[in-house]
Homo-oligomer: A and B are copies of this chain.
Amino acid sequence: MIIDCHGHYTTVPQAHTDWRKAQLAGETAPAYPVISDDEIRESIEGSQLRLMRERGVDLTIFSPRASAMAHHEGTEETSRQWAAACNDLIYRVTQLFPSSFAGVCQLPQSPGVPIANSIGELRRCVEELGFVGCNLNPDPSGGHWNSAPLTDRSWYPFYEAMVELDVPAMVHVSAVTNPNFHATGSAYLNADTTAFMQFLQSDLFKDFPDLRMIIPHGGGAVPYHWGRFRGLADMLDRPPLAESVMRNVFFDTCVYHQPGINLLFEVIDLDNLMFGSEMVGAVRGIDPTTGHYFDDTRRYVEALGLSEDDRARVFEGNARRVYPRLGL
């Protein structure tokens, strides 16, 4: 079985996107539109599910479109309404295609608002909708980085809820308003690297030994600079990364060329890697040097020639360990 741990619903029915536009344009949000099961089926079958079948992916851990979370827009109430609408839509996908999708929720984060206010939606999604995890935005400002690091105690109430519910978080930023950054070209990768370094510097996982974080996009710059991070841990008198970070942090395989995947698997312990593609997502084209989609990351992983056991861990076992609510 092949589980893709990183898929976003980027092909939502137009009415959902239109509602968001109206929500942001008006003083009060209009009523959420009626979207039929057929509309949802159509939006999934022709793209996400077709590509999953073509690539032999059985199950996608599926969350709302990351760039559209846009926690910086509007007020806390804006984000609360939008997160609920997005999560409800993901829930419907998981109900229509229960063997193909497991839900991961967007949080109603908002700049300056305590993360504790997101616990209710996390709990609703996990306990009532059967979701298996959440996406946690380390920078709800949209590229201005003016909230506290993920290791600050202000985040702890949320981590307590995650541990209680036994769900992991993928650290994932959203759209940016800062013109220095491009969402998928720099902001995402920077956030990945930033989060890892925050974890390296802190005792977060001593305080929460059962907390699990996924750093997407192959860990940002981290595996490529693995020597730098090992050296920094040493210079900063921190414990070795294997002890202080890598019991709790996992990278996906959203690295869109073979040399990157080769490095990832050479450097990072296999137990910390989970198959992911971020499909349909950031990079949708075909690589002219291979003739295949850039984000068809299964090809790169298969080309590694892993043993059957290792292959099963990367494609399925590690995900089941990190997301225990997937079941066995």
Contact with B along A163-202 (1 / 0, CB 8 A): 0000000000000001111101110011001101110110
Q: Are B228 and A294 in contact (CB under 8 A)?
A: yes
**In the complex, what's the smallest C-beta–C-beta distance from A292 to chain B, in angstroms?**
11
The answer to whether A21 has its CB under 8 Å from any CB of chain B is no
227-246 of chain A: CB within 8 A of chain B? 227-232, 234-235
- Distance between Cα atoms of A257 and B232 in the complex (Å): 13
A36-64: CB near B (< 8 Å → 1, else 0) gives 00000000000000000000000000000
Chain A, interface residues (CB within 8 Å), range: 35 or more
Let me know if A228 and B143 touch, CB within 8 A: no
Q: Check B287 against A227 for contact (C-beta < 8 Å).
A: yes
Q: Are B227 and A257 in contact (CB under 8 A)?
A: yes
The reply to whether B194 and A193 contact each other, CB–CB distance below 8 Å, is: no
- How long is the Cα–Cα vector from A184 to B231 in the complex, in angstroms? 11
Min CB distance, A227 to chain B, in Å? 3
Of A116-124, A215-223, A314-322, the segment with at least 4 beta carbons within 8 Å of chain B is A215-223
Residues in B with CB closer than 8 Å to A235 are 283-285
User: A231's contact among B145, B200, B283, by CB below 8 Å, is which?
Assistant: B283
A sample of 17 more A-B contacts (CB under 8 A), given A185-B232, A259-B267, is: A144-B144, A182-B232, A186-B194, A189-B221, A190-B193, A217-B225, A217-B228, A218-B225, A220-B221, A224-B224, A226-B257, A226-B259, A227-B287, A231-B283, A231-B285, A235-B285, A259-B266
